[in-house]
Chains A and B, each alone.
Chain A
């Protein structure tokens, strides 16, 4: 088995999940609570990766982040490097691609919190962020956890986006899913089998844990 690829995959999934927590939680809270017209547009934009083939998303990501694009130039000035065919590139693409898998569970969890509790918190002197941390999160954590787990698991199994954006550079952008593909191409079925079995066990474990958490009430 390609342990370098496995480690790289875990690193990618962990960082993607972390970034999704930072970006996705506030975004989901905004989606769940705002009454602005913009909501529907943003909601739809977040959901787009659910419908697009990963290769399409990867293709446009590649086109819009190359060294001659505005994003590419800005990135080059800030970090001295390029996004395509780098770890940072697949990380960013992963975050975009996985946005709906994290944000949608988050948002539905937040929307299920009785809005009267949120208003009560505000009227009792809690600011917006404080209300989020002390009332909303504690009451919606199973949904938040589900979103994070789904995003992590989904990143682990990602293929098209990583291939398009990252190429297939061992130790840099070659994730386990790409390694399996390479193994099969090289007719190394034993290695492909081992890695695939690992992913199956992983997926089953993740779903089992997530589902049981959904049914459990708050750990009081």
Chain B
């Protein structure tokens, strides 16, 4: 089985007028191994400045790490000790880049055939024709990139990337160039195209929607390090740390200390309020409590006769429409986000400055020990 074996550390040069993105850490170090046999899609999810793009650039050969190695099966792509560093064109990768980076001076057909090497004219034409069909680009052969819609550009970029039948696809923020509704549409399309190609793909993104819809596996990157990886379900359902929880979109993260544990339930004191959640550690330990906005209910009055353990008096601070829901920002001594339906919000008749009660079942709060 072919194995992608990655273990490197890349240190950013002391910042000069490079004009590049700012990084929150001085280096990016990562280490993982992947069987390459099956066409899996891996999404590297991280905030901007987390180093996720650097990981991809090191894989592609656009950056040279200071330490470690990158091996693809028997091929050594990079080895710091042996001073091996293959340029991108000698690695078996196909790339799709931010804003697609289509060549503006070339037609669609020539963009697609850009990777052609040592092929007869007939062979190139045949392969281009095949890809034009696969990517529904027939009739656009002679157009220039600027005459294409966002979706068409994406398909040209993907067709161009796979022309040489690369062993690995690298996609850098494939949907960052377009507005949100278009992005959602293109993401659907990208998904079906990548599935159809059956080439293992690494996608770098800051958008958790990319991970949720595209990825078999999600790798979380923070501060230049891989902080968690696993199947997408696993990572999103069980973030292993507060930073991971933030990345996968847990809305409220509270930090506190376990005051006591009773029957497996922890009492955590946060900003003078008591929060009940399943205990991840013994009393005295610091914990991070993750609360999804959709798990927070609102009431005008205290509902002391219910089964809910966590009821906090709160002040409404903000409200924002979010599709059929309203996202409500609350101040309970700590900030808390709640997601309620518009209908419920109307019936409550609350507005900013009003008093309300936030209600959260203990079972929905995820408590994680902090190191």
Size band of the interface chain B makes with A: 20 to 34
Judged by a CB distance under 8 angstroms, whether B51 is at the interface is no
Q: Using a CB-CB cutoff of 8 Å, which residues 117-134 of chain A contact chain B?
A: 117, 119-128, 134
Chain B residues positioned under 8 Å from A127 (CB to CB)? 87, 89
- Do B97 and A120 have beta carbons less than 8 Å apart? yes
The residue from B99, B105, B114 contacting A218, defined by CB atoms under 8 A apart: B105
Complex alpha-carbon distance, A218 and B95, angstroms: 26
- Do B97 and A125 have beta carbons less than 8 Å apart? no
- Do A116 and B97 have beta carbons less than 8 Å apart? yes
- Do B94 and A123 have beta carbons less than 8 Å apart? yes
Chain B residues positioned under 8 Å from A126 (CB to CB)? 89, 114-115
Chain A proximity of B99: nearest CB distance (Å): 7
A119-B62 contact given A125-B117, A125-B164, CB 8 Å threshold:
yes
Complex alpha-carbon distance, A52 and B133, angstroms: 61
Q: List the A residue with the shortest CB-CB distance to B104.
A: A139
Chain B proximity of A77: nearest CB distance (Å): 37
User: Chain B interface mostly helix, strand, loop or mixed?
Assistant: loop
- Do A124 and B115 have beta carbons less than 8 Å apart? yes
- Do B164 and A124 have beta carbons less than 8 Å apart? yes
- Do A123 and B105 have beta carbons less than 8 Å apart? no
Q: List the B residue with the shortest CB-CB distance to A124.
A: B115
A145-167 interface bits toward B, Cβ cutoff 8 Å, 1 = contact, 0 = none: 00000000000000000000000
Q: List the B residue with the shortest CB-CB distance to A137.
A: B105
Q: How many residues on the A side are at the interface (Cβ–Cβ under 8 A)?
A: 20
A122-B99 contact given A127-B87, A220-B105, CB 8 Å threshold:
no
Chain A proximity of B108: nearest CB distance (Å): 14
Judged by a CB distance under 8 angstroms, whether B296 is at the interface is no
Complex alpha-carbon distance, A126 and B170, angstroms: 16
The residue from B13, B18, B60 contacting A123, defined by CB atoms under 8 A apart: B60
- Do A122 and B101 have beta carbons less than 8 Å apart? no
Judged by a CB distance under 8 angstroms, whether B88 is at the interface is yes
Complex alpha-carbon distance, A35 and B144, angstroms: 32
A123-B88 contact given A138-B105, A139-B105, A220-B105, CB 8 Å threshold:
yes
User: Which chain B residues have a beta carbon within 8 Å of chain A's beta carbons?
Assistant: 13, 18, 60-62, 87-89, 93-95, 97-99, 101, 103-105, 114-115, 117, 144, 160-161, 163-164, 170
